Structure 1
Amino acid sequence: MSAPSVEKGIRFIKEQIDAPVASFFSACVRCGLCAEACLFYTETGDPRYTPIHKVEPMRRVWEREYTLWGKLKAAVGLAKPVTEEVFAQWETLVYDGCSLCGRCSLVCPVGNDISGMIRKLREGFAAAGHAPEGLIGATTRAIEIGSPMGVKLPALKAQIGHVEKETGLEIPLDRAGVEYMVLLSSMEIMNFPEYLEAIAKIMHQAGKRWTIASKAFEATNSGIQIGVSDLARVLVRRVVDAAEELGVQTVISPECGHAYTAIRFEGPNLIGRPYNFKVRHVLEVLDAFRRQGLLKTEGVEEARLTYHDPCQIARKGGVVEQPRDLLNGVASRFVEMEDRGAMNWCCSGGGGVSANERADEVKFKAFQRKKRQLLETGAEVVVTACANCRITLEEGLEENNMDLPVVGLTELIAEHLVEDRAEKGASDETDR
């Protein structure tokens, strides 16, 4: 790669070094606690995966450009520069060996947001041309097609048709003036269409008016994962424009962790203004329905269930009690993992790792942490609320020859909804 690409990467890194980042580097005491909080380090034993080490290229730029000592060292040739070789060496650490889960940031004794710095560092790596092909492809498809998996509107309409035929319920497209606009991830459309069916049933029972926007049905933000704010901004703005055009009150983020933090927390900063609508994760909406008496369920699961907290939803989004309140209404044998809630361990596939085939080997090594967690619970079923976690868990369990079903919480709740007896009777008569 040419020198100008390296210079561009360094320039983008410099642009990310603000006052908080500078204070983080100044405050770091090299205690090593972040290493023990990172499943890529604990499961490989490789010190290169220590979270604070992953941001070393940014630290070098900060030291050389913004500290007196660093400038003096650079003047006499003692400061380590960021070169093409450095970009090449650190690329796999920055993308393959970090899921941006934020557990390292949570345990840091001086409050350094290490995962936030890694996210910022990716801006420079992407600018320098050092990003995984899988993420580059996913981001390109998201911008050009509207979906990182290449899912187009006809595919969504086909799934809508299947669900409408199966349930007899309408799934409205582009309906203006309704309360809720529902977002989906491509994984739910293609891998878990039962999620869409669950939403239709729940909204029907709750008596809520809702819609899906044909111009912005995709929630996944590949720009956040690869580390390109300009592209992330384009994807957020699509959702914002659609929501404002339809005049909805609340946008519901689906069972997808990075989609939730991208649209709810990073989105307003990316577009430079607050929204005129609310953003809620689907579990927040379901729990609100439960508290309002609009979510009526019957029967309970007899199997021993455990819940995997998606990092972005629980640790970064604070959605911790809602899934447990929902689960306790439909499960008689719900057991917690030893580390749970904000301290739960990542599935190993977040932050774009699952879209990066090159990272499979280290991902499966990191999954051993989750494997031990699951075995310790003795659970017979794993419940989660992120389609990416669900796929990663399924892949990890299959790799380890573990026969353990993984289900989405929204889907599980829908299976226990109290049926409308009058409608059921009418449906039975039609079937005859």
Structure 2
Amino acid sequence: MGHDFAKGVAALDRQIDSRIAAYFSSCVHCGLCAEACLFYTETNDPRYTPIYKLEPMRRLWKEKHTFWGKFAIKLGLSKPLTEQDFADWEELVYDSCTLCGRCSMVCPVGNDITYMIRKEREGFSVAGYSPPGLQEATHRALTIGSPMGITLKTLQAALSHVEKNTGLKIPMDQPGADYMTLFSSMEVVNFPEYIESVARIFDAAQVSWTISSEAFEATNSGIQIGSSEAAKELVSRVVNAAESLGVKYVISPECGHAYTAIRWEGPNLIGRPYKFEIIHILELLDQLQKAGRLSLSGSTDIPLTFHDPCQIVRRGGVIEPPRDLLAKVAANFVEMGDHGDMNWCCGGGGGVSANERADGLRLKVFDRKQQQIEALGVKTLVTACANCRIVLEEGIEDRDMDVDVIGLTELVAEHLAAKAAS
């Protein structure tokens, strides 16, 4: 992808809405957001201060939308945004931000810095200043249907193994089912045990569900790279499939940005409300358990803790369901020092894990998660995001830590009551 600075500036300018203008106007330059960002805390590099990552957009806002900014440009007292600024800030915008939202939580004037960086990426993406890995993933998502190149045949092969292991028939393209479930590419390729767990749980709870052959991919690389056009297309495929099948709910899997894309950004991207509801798999499991449809038995005595995926918990609000479920299946569950809506990111969200040039930085900032885990002394880490799981496993391997990472849905499936599981 080539560079088009003028087109990128125009796109960046279009992102400066009333919210962003208000945020820039109200920023008091206190720097508190730095202490909330693991890229800053683990490197002590002031360039990784979250608000500093927005400097190109702030300069454009000032020169285009403020009296004194326009005045300064005319008198030559300040320099306009240049292509070199895009080149210099690309790494900060993509490599050192996971869109985790922790900086937004601590801003004393309520500025949503994560929202601003998400919008800033729109301009950088159009200008061509975005990581090759994310560009390629987005291209594959649009042309093949999956950022990892997963095809329907690949999914069908994975489902065939699940059917063989469980003796259950996986419903595909079933009209009128209550739920249509999505999977991320990582679950299909790296964690098929998640799919098997879902099948076993839904059979036990007698859930009416299906998978669409037209839209089974949950990951939305358009959100990660900052392309509303791509994000809209990917959301539209899911919406069209769900409405064609007439389902009541679409289930977002254990994937953070998939949840953000389909539940929170989706209706705005397509310009209308859905004809169905979005529910995260953890929300559904919690509902089934509380309604008495999901019978669980026994609990593990292994000490374990839970890593809160940022987009699901902090940005999405799914805080209590995972803890309600853990209370049923884990007798020795302990919270991290910072948890819930203030937990620290795994370091690979927001497309960072798909950005190879950021690998060194990502492993460096794993210091924070290592400290959290070792402070508890546990050997088992539970999470609910396939991307978090991959990143956590890579960090643990890099540090030679004796810690296992498991998915919460799988843990629940392991404790299905014998009668329900048979």
Give the structure-1-normalised TM-score: 0.96
Equivalent residue for 1:429? none
* Post-superposition offset of 1:95: 0.2
3-state SS of 1:401 partner: coil
Equivalent residue for 1:65? 64
**Greater than 4 Å deviation, 4+ residue runs:** none
3-state SS of 1:348 partner: coil
Equivalent residue for 2:246? 247
Equivalent residue for 2:12? 13
Q: Contact (CA 8 Å) 1:49, 1:93: kept in 2 or not?
A: yes
Aligned mates of 1:407, 1:239 — CA distance in 2? 28
Equivalent residue for 1:430? none
Aligned mates of 1:7, 1:387 — CA distance in 2? 37
Equivalent residue for 2:109? 110
Equivalences for residues 135-150 of structure 1 within 5 A: 135-150=134-149
Aligned mates of 2:96, 2:207 — CA distance in 1? 42
* Unmatched segments (≥5 aa) in structure 2: none
Equivalences for residues 317-356 of structure 1 within 5 A: 317-356=316-355
Q: Deviations over 1:58-93 (max 9, x none)?
A: 000000000000001000112232111101100000
Aligned mates of 1:379, 1:37 — CA distance in 2? 24
3-state SS of 2:174 partner: coil
Q: Deviations over 1:131-159 (max 9, x none)?
A: 00000010000000000000000010011
Matched residue count: 422
Q: Deviations over 1:165-212 (max 9, x none)?
A: 110111111000010000000000000000010010111111111000
Equivalences for residues 336-415 of structure 1 within 5 A: 336-415=335-414
* Worse-matched range after superposition: 292-301 or 144-153: 292-301
Percent identity reads 62
Q: Contact (CA 8 Å) 1:186, 1:220: kept in 2 or not?
A: yes
Amino acid at match of 1:227: G
Aligned mates of 1:165, 1:404 — CA distance in 2? 30
* Post-superposition offset of 1:334: 0.3
Aligned mates of 2:94, 2:179 — CA distance in 1? 35
3-state SS of 2:406 partner: strand
Q: Within the alignment, does 1:222 sit opposite 2:225 as a pair? A: no
Equivalent residue for 1:428? none
Q: Contact (CA 8 Å) 1:60, 1:80: kept in 2 or not?
A: no
Equivalences for residues 228-267 of structure 1 within 5 A: 228-267=227-266
Equivalent residue for 2:161? 162
Aligned mates of 2:147, 2:379 — CA distance in 1? 32
Equivalent residue for 1:285? 284
Equivalent residue for 2:309? 310
Amino acid at match of 2:140: R
RMSD: 1.1
Equivalent residue for 2:128? 129
Aligned mates of 1:106, 1:191 — CA distance in 2? 32
3-state SS of 1:297 partner: coil
Aligned mates of 1:79, 1:296 — CA distance in 2? 66
Aligned mates of 1:179, 1:230 — CA distance in 2? 29
* Post-superposition offset of 1:420: 2.5
Aligned mates of 1:149, 1:116 — CA distance in 2? 26
Q: Contact (CA 8 Å) 1:330, 1:413: kept in 2 or not?
A: yes
* Post-superposition offset of 1:419: 2.2
3-state SS of 2:19 partner: helix
* Post-superposition offset of 1:355: 0.1
Amino acid at match of 2:169: E
3-state SS of 1:334 partner: coil
Amino acid at match of 2:280: H
* Post-superposition offset of 1:294: 1.0
* Unmatched segments (≥5 aa) in structure 1: 425-432
Aligned mates of 1:214, 1:202 — CA distance in 2? 21
Give the structure-2-normalised TM-score: 0.99
Q: Contact (CA 8 Å) 1:308, 1:384: kept in 2 or not?
A: yes
* Post-superposition offset of 1:385: 0.3
Amino acid at match of 2:270: I
Q: Within the alignment, does 1:176 sit opposite 2:175 as a pair? A: yes
Equivalent residue for 1:275? 274
Aligned mates of 2:318, 2:327 — CA distance in 1? 15
Aligned mates of 2:78, 2:105 — CA distance in 1? 31
Aligned mates of 1:46, 1:77 — CA distance in 2? 31
